Amino acid sequence: MPIVIDKDIPAYKILTGERIFVMDSDRATLQDIRPIEIAILNLMPTKETTETQFMRLLSNSPLQVNVTLIRTETYNPTHTEAAHLEKFYKNFSDIKCRRFDGMIITGAPVENMEFEDVAYWRELEEIFDWTKTNVTSTLFICWGAQAALHYFYGIKKHPLKEKCFGIFAHQRVRDGSIEPLMRGISDEFHMPHSRHTIIYAEDIKNVPELKILAYSKRAGASIIKSLDNKQVFVTGHMEYDRDTLKKEYERDKAKGLPIKPPANYFADKEMTEVKMNWSSTANLFYINWLNYYVYQVTPYKL
């Protein structure tokens, strides 16, 4: 089944070129099924790249998915053209009376700041509260996961001496229980990370409402969920493209920042070829989330 997006958004042309089944809203009205409604609060500066990455993953299931892109009102991003935001994004005030089957809240490059010092923190608090009543299941990514764990459960983030940057092996937590979110995912899998802070696993274990599903010796707890399945926290970036870390490395290096090449990432000494070993896990994870945590439990009438 297709993902339903505006045919003028750049992602439409990109995904169509990749032979991914996308559909515009006019054609979708002819489909005699209820599509899944997914909201994406995009806090990343590279909005067009990020929205395409998540749309690519959401399009790989048999479900028809309507995507609503959301931006903050209390902070105007400077890396994306205003015309793009005006045409394709809605403010939270525009959609706060709606209900959604699922929501994704992305990461943001503000991890070295205290949460309360982030320009849009008060607005984000309101959105966090809103997800509890208006969204069936919310997926929090990287800084978004750290922010939500802090807000809902009082869990602190901690600075790292060296940036957690690269592709790291992760282990599934196998405790004998059946976890639909991890169904089909190997006992060991890989995930990109790019952050300066970490959440301690022990702090998560001290919260009875939370459960760690996967962890990494280098990157820490990587997939966490609430016991009611309404909140899923991913501390890495399964959605990243093949060259995303390469671009981040070149960007930081050009700025003169202390950055090492991403670990376990380049396949050659010249750092031109990238070993992409996380895409299958990413696709399966998002299919599982849409199927088991959204589609099978969301009400037919929102």
Q: Which among 42, 41, 7, 37 is positioned nearest to 22, based on CA atoms?
A: 7
- Which positions are annotated as active-site residues? 142, 237, 239
Q: 163: part of which helix (H) or strand (E)?
A: strand 158-172
Q: Are 171 and 215 in contact (CB under 8 A)?
A: yes
Q: Which residues contact 20 (CB under 8 A, 6 or more apart)?
A: 3, 56, 59, 60
The string of DSSP codes covering 58-90 is HTTSSS-EEEEEEE-SS---SSS-HHHHHHHEE
Residue type, 252: D
CA distances from 286 to 93, 102, 221, 248, 294 (A): 27, 11, 18, 24, 11
SS3 assignment, position 192: strand
Q: Are 173 and 212 in contact (CB under 8 A)?
A: yes
Residue type, 167: I
> Taking the CA of residue 83 as centre, how many other CA atoms within 13 Å lie in the half-sphere pointing to its CB?
3
What are the beta bridge partners of residue 194?
165
DSSP-derived secondary structure letter, 155: P
* CA separation for the pair 110, 259 (Å, rounded): 17
Length of the chain: 302
